Chain A
Amino acid sequence: MTATVTVVLAGVGGQGTILAADVLAKTAVAAGLDVKLSEVHGMAQRGGSVDTAVRFGEAVASPITDPGCADHLVAFEMIEAARQLRFVKPGGRLLVNTRTIDPLPVLIGDLESPEGVEEALVAEGAIFIDAEELACEAGSPKSANIVLLGALSTGLAFPVELWTEVITARVPAASVEFNLRAFELGRRACGEGGACLL
């Protein structure tokens, strides 16, 4: 029986984590796997932390996962990477967008922006990727979430054609081209021997 693979996508409301999770889940369905995806709506979406779990395998029971149990963490933002780090199991893959979005208590000067986030992530073996820059290169900063999926895809067993098919069907028609480019750039950045910023 194929073991269940767990991917946690963590970011800030509005960053496109939910669309990314949906593309990942649909790709797993297209690959003939059982899939469960868990997200939280409502109050959290108003600029709060958003984390989504996607789990796939031969038969998936729980839609959620536990700290120390995820195979992959895709963090869309540095502070959220540090916050959700606890989900990644030993030997798991930690993929981090280099962007930092300060939360409101920091913006208004009540709290300091945390020190040592990057160092801690480096110590935990994080793979860094500047998704916004690659997204701009692809044609739109909005495709940063797809860049990150491209980076994630090099650690998963799904064929590229499957991803391409799902992305094409899932994103608005006018944005297919730059999203596919974004996916490819993300893949290249984290491909075997790829030049991920470490």
Chain B
Amino acid sequence: MSLTLLSGNEAVARGAWEAGASVGVGYPGTPSTQALEAFACMEGAYAEWAPNEKVALEVAAGASMGGARSLVTMKHVGVNVAADPLFTLAYTGVGAGLVVFVADDPGMHSSQNEQDSRNWGPFARVPVLEPSDSREALDFTRVAFELSEQYDIPVIVRSTTRISHSKGVVNVDGPRRDHPSAAYAKDIGKWVMMPAMARARRAALDARMRELSAHVEGSPLNRVEMRDPAIGIVTSGVSYQYVREALPDASVFKLGISYPLPVAALAAFADEVDRLIVVEEADDYLATHLRALGMSPEYVGLPESGELSPGIVAQSLGGQAPVVRQTVEGLPPRPPLMCPGCPHRGAYNALRKVKAIVTGDIGCYTLGALAPLSSMDSCVCMGASVGMAHGMRLAGQGSDRPVVAVIGDSTFAHSGVTGLIDLAYNGSDALVCILDNRITAMTGHQHNPVSGSTLQGRPATEVDLEALCRSIGVQRVRTIDPHDLETAEQAVREEVASGKLSVIVFRAPCALLIKEKEQPYAVDEDLCTACGLCIRLGCPAISKGEDGKARVDITLCVGCGDCVQVCKFSAIELTGPACDIGGV
């Protein structure tokens, strides 16, 4: 046996590879990202980042229709974007196996909401498999491809942060199944979803789901573990692991398939146990469905939102809370922050100077909402910044403070561009700032249509953002280096004063892409007047000393020079022997 430590994401990739999947498509999003990155490294696998999850699923649908087993990866909110093809692909069914890997984020470690992807099962009428650790993530993904072909349906493999980003011991001896594409045969009754065909396929879908429902009653992915019948727990996913740890003697119905549910088997389990209890994170998906099936799971006071843990499960069932040491009071929070040398800082500095109302978007630059930059007013979903800026103007905002949208390069390609088309078409006069740092940074540096490379390192055509914006109909488009603070501020002032729709592309690479650091700066204490202007940039390399004067930590400073430009007293200069390199 070849045992290795794999994260849930890596295990999903391995499972898809063993199943013979040859095409992988996705859009990065924590906690799903490493699944496609791992798949991209596997022999015989083709993988690409799509501009968004809808396109990803459509590419995979085409590959499936063309006979290649295909994997699609995204985070939970990505399914909202991909929902349009997903619902109709349930009708068409698949060619070769089509598996949609979705990673939810209960507790919102890195997300804007906590939606529970199990609900897509009954909503879109697609099966949902739920592994409970890395080992199952591999096995279930492999099985998902078989089920997809056997029942002619896309299959969702649903994970959560604690599955995706936990590592466990996995046997990676499984061979890769050979799955050559079959010859393509046209079938418009199956693939052209005009009303007449769609009606027939809807009936066919219902028939397939009935067959699948019969299958899940005996599926080895669902497992009954009878122990003490006093307590019977119905659970799935990582919650199963918490139950095993918290209540080792309890009987457990472990669901590996959370849609469709094994109705008869669940009813039999409910009859055998004294107390029926559902343990699940996020929505009360299982409890609601059990109640609809006439069962009566007890309410035991598990939290309505956020993550569970072994302790939470144990204590909700009367377990004793362990002795916990007293934490020191008044500890300062440690929020995430923009790196030293981050190009976004310059753009926010300019927006703060004009007191802009900033509709924001999703990426590292969302951190601009936090102190001391405090320069963002909203963050809702991928691409929302652009449309919301227009909406704010329609509501009459912007007469005293300009309305500005801020969006990153990858997010703009994802779904900001459609918003900008709307603004140009409908005559908006907002300013849209595209913060182009040449990479999808927050999720860990993935390439995108603007960055010039594909996921597997092939050179790619770069979207010419300026030409794209002009072609949409934006007449005022300019490109600014955000590290040139004065020019950046001047550009923002001019564009908000123009009274026309305009785009500023702030272009400078993510500080983490620059391997050669510039010489660090230091503060001359004799010149520093403790005015605090440089502190307000929010650079982690700059701190305020007890005397109120600034200090630069030369181990963190990358020499971007933003602070030098805001200092009115020339107190920040390159390090040299004469300088006091305080803070080190």
Q: What distance in Å separates the Cβ of B38 from its nearest Cβ neighbour in chain A? A: 14
**Closest Cβ–Cβ distance, residue A123 to chain B (whole Å):** 9
Beta-carbon nearest neighbor of B321 in chain A: A68
Given A43-B30, A110-B371, check contact A29 B133 (CB 8 Å): no
Which residues from A are CB-within-8-Å of B532? 109
The minimal Cβ–Cβ distance linking B191 to chain A, given in whole angstroms, is: 37
A191 contacts B by Cβ under 8 Å: no
Tell me if A103 is interfacial: C-beta within 8 Å of chain B: yes
A36-B167, A37-B166 are contacts. A43–B331 as well, Cβ < 8 Å? Answer: no
Residues of chain B with a CB closer than 8 A to A69's CB: 310-311, 322
Main secondary structure of the interface of B (DSSP, over half): loop
A68 engages B538 (CB within 8 Å): no
B443 to chain A, nearest CB (A): 7
Known: A13-B336, A111-B332, A113-B332. A82 touches B327 (CB 8 A): yes
The residues of A that contact B33 with a CB separation of less than 8 Å are 41
Number of interface residues of A (CB under 8 A): 59
User: Which range contains the number of B residues in contact with the other chain?
Assistant: 35 or more
Residue numbers in A under 8 Å from B330 (CB-CB)? 114-115
Assess whether B337 is in contact with A29, with CB atoms less than 8 Å apart.
Answer: no
Known: A25-B5, A35-B5. A48 touches B335 (CB 8 A): yes
Q: How many angstroms between the C-alpha atoms of A49 and B544 in the bound complex?
A: 21
Which chain B residue shows the least CB distance to A104?
B337
Q: Are A79 and B31 neighbours in the complex by a CB distance under 8 Å?
A: no
A63 pairs with B168, CB closer than 8 A: yes
- A79 lies within 8 A of B334 (CB): yes
Q: A29-B3, A63-B133, A108-B535 are known contacts. Are A44 and B311 too (CB-CB below 8 A)?
A: no
Please state if B169 and A29 are interface contacts (CB–CB under 8 Å): yes
Q: Are A89's CB and B161's CB within 8 A?
A: no
Return A102 CB to nearest CB of chain B, in Å. 7
Q: Please tell me if the beta carbons of B371 and A109 are within 8 angstroms of each other in the complex.
A: no
A40/B161 in contact, CB under 8 A: yes
Say whether A120 faces chain B, with CB atoms less than 8 Å apart.
yes
- A89-B322 Cα distance, complex, nearest whole Å: 8
What 1/0 flags go to B535-550 for Cβ under 8 Å of A? 1101010111000100
From residue 91 to 128 of chain A, which have CB atoms closer than 8 A to chain B?
A: 102-117, 120, 124
Contact of B325 among A36, A49, A85, A112 (CB under 8 A): A85
5 contacts between A and B (CB under 8 A): A41-B110, A62-B242, A62-B310, A107-B543, A115-B330
With A41-B30, A42-B443, A90-B325 already in contact, 5 other A-B pairs whose C-beta atoms are closer than 8 Å: A66-B311, A82-B327, A83-B334, A108-B538, A114-B330
Question: Would you call A47 an interface residue if the criterion is a C-beta within 8 Å of the partner chain's C-beta atoms?
Answer: yes
Decide if A63 touches B324 in the complex (CB within 8 Å): no
Whole-angstrom CA separation of A25 from B168 in the bound complex: 9
Q: Mask for B348-377, Cβ within 8 A of A = 1, else 0? A: 000000000000000010010001100000
B241 in the interface (beta carbon within 8 A): yes
- Bound complex: CA of A64 vs CA of B367, how far in Å? 27
Whether, in the assembled complex, B323 has its beta carbon less than 8 Å from a beta carbon of chain A, the answer is yes
Q: Is there contact, CB below 8 Å, between B165 and A40?
A: yes
Of all chain A residues, the one with the shortest Cβ separation from B29 is A42
